[in-house]
Amino acid sequence: MYRNVVNQLIEWKKSDERKPLIVLGARQVGKTYSLLDFGKQHYKYVAYINCDENEQAKNLFVQDYNMERVLFAIAAIAGVPVVPGDTLIILDEIQELQKGLASLKYFCENAPEYHVCVAGSLLGITLRHGESFPVGKVDMIRMFPMSFTEFLIARGRNLMAEQLQKKNWYMLTGLHLTLVQMLREYYLVGGMPEVVKTYLKTNDPNSVRKVQNKILIAYRNDIAKHTTDEESKRIGIVWRSMPSQLSKENKKFIYGVAKKGGRAKEFEVAIQWLIDAGLVIRVGRASSPTMPLKVYEDLSAFKLYLLDVGLLGAMAEVDPATLILPNDMKEGKGMFTENFVCTHLAASIEQSIFYYSKDNSPMEIDFMIQHGTNIVPIEVKSEENLKSKSLSVFLQQNENMHGVRFSMSPYREQERMTNVPLYGAGVYFAND
């Protein structure tokens, strides 16, 4: 299946400043598939080693960092020639290798002519927790689940995807109803490649949900395998509370929802683990709509969103029909819509995402981002209701800003606000 990340990989291959590449992302978002497909399409040889499953690879860097010896061993283990420029070396689950990450410094300094990519389902955890990191010696790409545009391509709707990527809103207006229905399908399926593949093969929501539940079990197993019993318990409490947290009107993370009487000190490590594993996205509160937003972040208030809207439906045990059919789910529809927008913003912009609320005021802006030299307030509507009280009041108070509203309504420009159809959330701020 087509993944947009291939364009970044091609740019990396062509770069004169290319360094060993780290591909970050949660389990089963498609890292290994994308790297292997890229290798097959753009290299003569692919030297792939799964460092978690291949016993021969366990001691690859224990002896020393002699690149001549290491490259000879990689060729022997992978069973293909390792030729500069012609071979893509892929070390999967590299966090399982002793000194694996540290070795990238020596690939960069002593063997820069070789093309090396590494990945791992819990690599973000490893980066935070202390193994020597080759600062300045690596390139990095973060992968997310398949976007709505990639989902359209997988569904054979290439023309729609092309026009969406071009932001050709005029052409898309005539396809609006079809795109809305496709978006509702995406709410059910989400962007995990195995789930999308199952949906395309079976067209069966029950089969889709079985695969989603299998992925959720794999995540729980990762938590249990890579943490202490006490850490696992706390991470599990936070993880299981996600649907309840997101079903609240303001979505702000409340420790007491995770556990009665819960406090920040008890769960802050657990939350950070989930963020580092790529399973949740943190959206901090901006206390002032002022550049740079990061300076005005209230560290005590934040929201957490799940990495994939399809997995959110599985965790919440929502009947598939209520996601696919319009106006069928009166309560909780907003959490799927906001989660969809958040994941697509995270995948399409490089800056942090915030929400904004004013002390002692009920007014709240769903999301706020820095885009170029501007601050953009964003409101999210799950259907076609275009009443934007909070956003309207906010714009009256901040006359230098232009707002964006994502909704099920077609594209339209208003006086100080742009309405963007929800299916455009992943492209609207991209590549400007």
Q: pLDDT for 299-343, tens place per residue?
A: 999 999 999 999 999 999 998 877 877 654 555 678 999 999 999
What's the pLDDT score for residue 212? 98
In a domain, 431, yes or no: no
Same structural domain, 387 and 320: yes
Question: Does 220 map to a domain?
Answer: yes
In a domain, 387, yes or no: yes
CATH code of the domain in which 128 resides = 3.40.50.300
Same domain as 134, residue 161: no
- Residue where a domain terminates, one of 83, 113, 142: 142
Of 97, 123, 142, the residue that ends a domain is 142
Q: Are 161 and 136 within one domain?
A: no
Domain shared by 308 and 264, yes or no: yes
432 in any annotated domain: no
128: containing domain:
5-142
Asked whether residue 363 falls in the same domain as residue 267, the answer is: yes
Could you say which of 81, 111, 142 is where a domain stops? 142
**Is residue 167 domain-resident?**
yes
Residue the block writes with tokens 């012609």: 86
At 4, is the pLDDT very low, low, confident or very high (cuts 50, 70, 90)? Answer: very high
DSSP letter, residue 96: G
How many other C-beta atoms lie within 10 A of the C-beta of residue 56?
11
Q: What is the pTM assigned to this prediction?
A: 0.93
Same domain, residue pair 40 and 173: no
Q: Which residues pair with 369 in a beta bridge?
A: 376
Asked whether residue 223 falls in the same domain as residue 336, the answer is yes
Contact 144, 343 (CB under 8 A): yes
With beta carbons less than 8 A apart as the criterion, state whether 47 and 97 touch. no
Whether 277 and 321 map to the same domain: the answer is: yes
pLDDT tens digits for 65-81?
999 999 999 999 999 99
Q: Is residue 174 part of a domain?
A: yes
* pLDDT, tens digit, 9 for 90 and up, residues 158-180: 999 999 999 999 999 999 999 99
**Total count of domains within the chain:** 2
In-domain check, residue 288: yes
The pLDDT score that the predictor gives to residue 203 is 94
Assess whether 152 and 41 both reside in one domain. Answer: no
Q: What are phi and psi of 306, to 5 degrees?
A: -75, 150
In a 13 Å sphere around the CA of 400, the CA atoms on its Cβ side amount to 6
As a whole-number percent, the residues of the chain with pLDDT over 90 amount to 78
In a domain, 430, yes or no: no
Judgement on whether residues 268 and 301 belong to the same structural domain of the protein: yes
How many Cα atoms within 13 Å fall on the side-chain side of residue 192?
A: 27
Q: Would you tell me how many other CB atoms lie within 10 Å of the CB of residue 432?
A: 8
First to last CA, the chain: 26
What pLDDT score does 334 carry? 84
Condensed to tens digits (0 to 9), the pLDDT of residues 9-58 reads: 999 999 999 999 999 999 999 999 999 999 999 999 999 999 998 999 98
pLDDT digits (tens, 9 = 90+) for 236-259: 999 999 999 999 888 899 988 888
Q: Are residues 40 and 189 in the same domain?
A: no
What is the rounded CA–CA span in Å between residue 186 and residue 180? 10
Within this chain, do residues 282 and 420 fall inside the same structural domain, yes or no? yes
